[in-house]
Amino acid sequence: MDNVTLIGMPGSGKSTVGVVLAKALGYRFLDADLLIQEREGALLQTILDTRGLDAFLDAERDAIRSISCRRTVIAPGGSCVLREESMAHLKGLGRVLYLRLGYEELERRIFNLDSRGIAFAPGQGLREVYHQRAPLYARWADATVDVEGQTLQQTVAAVTAAVKSMLV
Protein backbone atom coordinates (compact mmCIF):
# COMPACT_ATOMS: atom_id res chain seq x y z
CA MET A 1 0.00 0.00 0.00
CA ASP A 2 2.94 2.36 -0.41
CA ASN A 3 2.26 3.25 -4.05
CA VAL A 4 0.76 6.51 -5.28
CA THR A 5 -1.53 6.66 -8.31
CA LEU A 6 -2.19 9.99 -10.04
CA ILE A 7 -5.54 10.20 -11.81
CA GLY A 8 -7.09 12.97 -13.85
CA MET A 9 -7.89 14.07 -17.36
CA PRO A 10 -5.35 13.82 -20.16
CA GLY A 11 -3.31 17.01 -19.99
CA SER A 12 -3.61 17.34 -16.21
CA GLY A 13 0.07 16.49 -15.78
CA LYS A 14 -0.05 12.91 -14.46
CA SER A 15 3.04 11.71 -16.32
CA THR A 16 5.04 14.93 -16.03
CA VAL A 17 4.26 15.40 -12.34
CA GLY A 18 4.60 11.66 -11.72
CA VAL A 19 8.21 11.52 -12.87
CA VAL A 20 9.21 14.49 -10.70
CA LEU A 21 7.18 13.20 -7.74
CA ALA A 22 8.83 9.77 -7.99
CA LYS A 23 12.25 11.43 -7.82
CA ALA A 24 11.20 13.54 -4.82
CA LEU A 25 9.90 10.48 -2.95
CA GLY A 26 12.67 8.12 -4.00
CA TYR A 27 10.07 5.95 -5.79
CA ARG A 28 9.97 4.33 -9.22
CA PHE A 29 7.65 5.69 -11.93
CA LEU A 30 5.25 3.63 -14.04
CA ASP A 31 3.32 5.07 -17.00
CA ALA A 32 0.39 2.71 -17.60
CA ASP A 33 -0.13 4.02 -21.15
CA LEU A 34 3.34 2.77 -22.06
CA LEU A 35 2.52 -0.56 -20.42
CA ILE A 36 -0.60 -0.86 -22.61
CA GLN A 37 1.38 -0.07 -25.75
CA GLU A 38 4.02 -2.63 -24.83
CA ARG A 39 1.47 -5.36 -24.07
CA GLU A 40 -0.65 -4.65 -27.15
CA GLY A 41 2.19 -3.93 -29.58
CA ALA A 42 0.48 -0.79 -30.83
CA LEU A 43 0.11 2.91 -30.08
CA LEU A 44 -2.90 3.95 -28.00
CA GLN A 45 -4.48 5.83 -30.90
CA THR A 46 -4.00 2.82 -33.20
CA ILE A 47 -5.75 0.57 -30.68
CA LEU A 48 -8.65 3.02 -30.47
CA ASP A 49 -8.87 3.46 -34.26
CA THR A 50 -8.65 -0.23 -35.16
CA ARG A 51 -10.28 -2.03 -32.24
CA GLY A 52 -12.66 0.57 -30.80
CA LEU A 53 -13.30 2.08 -27.39
CA ASP A 54 -14.48 -1.04 -25.54
CA ALA A 55 -11.49 -3.12 -26.68
CA PHE A 56 -9.18 -0.27 -25.67
CA LEU A 57 -10.75 -0.02 -22.20
CA ASP A 58 -10.45 -3.79 -21.80
CA ALA A 59 -6.77 -3.68 -22.79
CA GLU A 60 -6.23 -0.81 -20.36
CA ARG A 61 -8.00 -2.74 -17.58
CA ASP A 62 -5.93 -5.86 -18.24
CA ALA A 63 -2.68 -3.86 -18.23
CA ILE A 64 -3.59 -2.08 -15.00
CA ARG A 65 -4.61 -5.32 -13.32
CA SER A 66 -1.20 -6.77 -14.21
CA ILE A 67 0.59 -4.08 -12.18
CA SER A 68 2.30 -5.37 -9.06
CA CYS A 69 4.76 -2.97 -7.47
CA ARG A 70 5.92 -1.18 -4.34
CA ARG A 71 7.16 2.34 -3.79
CA THR A 72 6.01 3.42 -7.24
CA VAL A 73 4.20 6.47 -8.61
CA ILE A 74 1.69 5.17 -11.16
CA ALA A 75 0.26 7.34 -13.92
CA PRO A 76 -2.63 5.56 -15.63
CA GLY A 77 -4.47 6.95 -18.62
CA GLY A 78 -7.36 9.30 -17.95
CA SER A 79 -9.85 6.63 -18.99
CA CYS A 80 -8.87 4.22 -16.18
CA VAL A 81 -11.88 5.40 -14.16
CA LEU A 82 -14.23 3.99 -16.81
CA ARG A 83 -13.56 0.42 -15.65
CA GLU A 84 -14.31 -0.26 -12.00
CA GLU A 85 -11.90 -3.21 -11.98
CA SER A 86 -9.05 -0.90 -12.99
CA MET A 87 -9.70 1.52 -10.18
CA ALA A 88 -10.31 -1.19 -7.58
CA HIS A 89 -6.90 -2.64 -8.43
CA LEU A 90 -5.17 0.76 -8.26
CA LYS A 91 -6.85 1.49 -4.90
CA GLY A 92 -5.58 -1.85 -3.67
CA LEU A 93 -2.04 -0.85 -4.60
CA GLY A 94 -2.03 2.38 -2.56
CA ARG A 95 -3.26 5.94 -2.38
CA VAL A 96 -4.99 7.67 -5.29
CA LEU A 97 -4.52 11.38 -5.91
CA TYR A 98 -6.72 13.34 -8.33
CA LEU A 99 -5.04 16.14 -10.29
CA ARG A 100 -8.06 18.38 -10.89
CA LEU A 101 -7.99 20.81 -13.77
CA GLY A 102 -10.81 23.07 -14.98
CA TYR A 103 -12.25 22.47 -18.43
CA GLU A 104 -11.07 25.74 -19.96
CA GLU A 105 -7.46 25.08 -18.91
CA LEU A 106 -7.74 21.51 -20.12
CA GLU A 107 -8.95 22.72 -23.51
CA ARG A 108 -5.91 25.03 -23.76
CA ARG A 109 -3.52 22.18 -22.91
CA ILE A 110 -4.89 19.54 -25.30
CA PHE A 111 -4.30 20.41 -28.91
CA ASN A 112 -3.84 16.95 -30.47
CA LEU A 113 -7.19 15.37 -29.63
CA ASP A 114 -7.28 13.16 -32.74
CA SER A 115 -3.84 11.64 -32.26
CA ARG A 116 -3.19 11.68 -28.52
CA GLY A 117 -4.87 8.36 -27.74
CA ILE A 118 -7.69 9.82 -25.66
CA ALA A 119 -10.47 7.28 -25.19
CA PHE A 120 -13.85 8.68 -26.11
CA ALA A 121 -16.90 7.31 -27.87
CA PRO A 122 -17.82 8.30 -31.42
CA GLY A 123 -19.63 11.63 -31.35
CA GLN A 124 -18.29 12.48 -27.91
CA GLY A 125 -16.26 15.65 -27.52
CA LEU A 126 -13.75 16.75 -24.93
CA ARG A 127 -16.41 18.57 -22.89
CA GLU A 128 -18.58 15.44 -22.66
CA VAL A 129 -15.58 13.31 -21.69
CA TYR A 130 -14.63 15.84 -19.01
CA HIS A 131 -18.13 15.90 -17.50
CA GLN A 132 -18.40 12.10 -17.63
CA ARG A 133 -15.08 11.51 -15.88
CA ALA A 134 -14.81 14.34 -13.32
CA PRO A 135 -17.24 12.74 -10.83
CA LEU A 136 -15.48 9.39 -11.24
CA TYR A 137 -12.08 10.90 -10.45
CA ALA A 138 -13.55 12.53 -7.34
CA ARG A 139 -15.20 9.24 -6.32
CA TRP A 140 -11.97 7.23 -6.42
CA ALA A 141 -9.57 9.85 -5.05
CA ASP A 142 -8.15 9.71 -1.55
CA ALA A 143 -7.13 13.35 -2.02
CA THR A 144 -7.50 16.04 -4.68
CA VAL A 145 -4.99 18.68 -5.74
CA ASP A 146 -6.16 21.57 -7.89
CA VAL A 147 -3.54 22.14 -10.59
CA GLU A 148 -5.31 25.02 -12.32
CA GLY A 149 -2.95 27.83 -13.30
CA GLN A 150 0.05 26.34 -11.51
CA THR A 151 3.58 25.96 -12.75
CA LEU A 152 5.11 22.51 -12.75
CA GLN A 153 7.08 23.41 -9.60
CA GLN A 154 3.93 24.60 -7.80
CA THR A 155 2.02 21.49 -8.82
CA VAL A 156 4.80 19.15 -7.74
CA ALA A 157 5.08 20.94 -4.39
CA ALA A 158 1.31 20.67 -3.79
CA VAL A 159 1.20 17.03 -4.88
CA THR A 160 4.26 16.12 -2.79
CA ALA A 161 2.69 17.72 0.29
CA ALA A 162 -0.60 15.89 -0.32
CA VAL A 163 1.15 12.57 -0.85
CA LYS A 164 3.34 12.92 2.23
CA SER A 165 0.27 13.64 4.37
CA MET A 166 -1.47 10.54 2.93
CA LEU A 167 1.52 8.27 3.53
CA VAL A 168 1.82 9.19 7.22
| CATH number, position 112 | 3.40.50.300
What is the percent of the chain with per-residue pLDDT over 70, rounded to a whole number? 93
- Residue 95 pLDDT grade (very low, low, confident, very high; cuts 50, 70, 90): very high
Task: Give the whole-angstrom CA distance, residue 136 versus residue 43.
Answer: 25
How many structural domains are present in the chain? 1
Task: Give the whole-angstrom CA distance, residue 131 versus residue 38.
Answer: 30
Closest CA to 146 of 106, 100, 109, 102: 100
Does the pLDDT at position 80 exceed 80? Answer: yes
Task: Give the whole-angstrom CA distance, residue 1 versus residue 17.
Answer: 20
The reported pLDDT for the residue numbered 110 is 75
Arithmetic mean of pLDDT, 136-146:
95
- Cα distances (angstroms) measured from residue 108 to each of 16, 24, 102, 165: 17, 28, 10, 31
Arithmetic mean of pLDDT, 158-167:
85
Per the structure, the complete domain to which residue 62 belongs is given by 3-167
pTM: 0.92
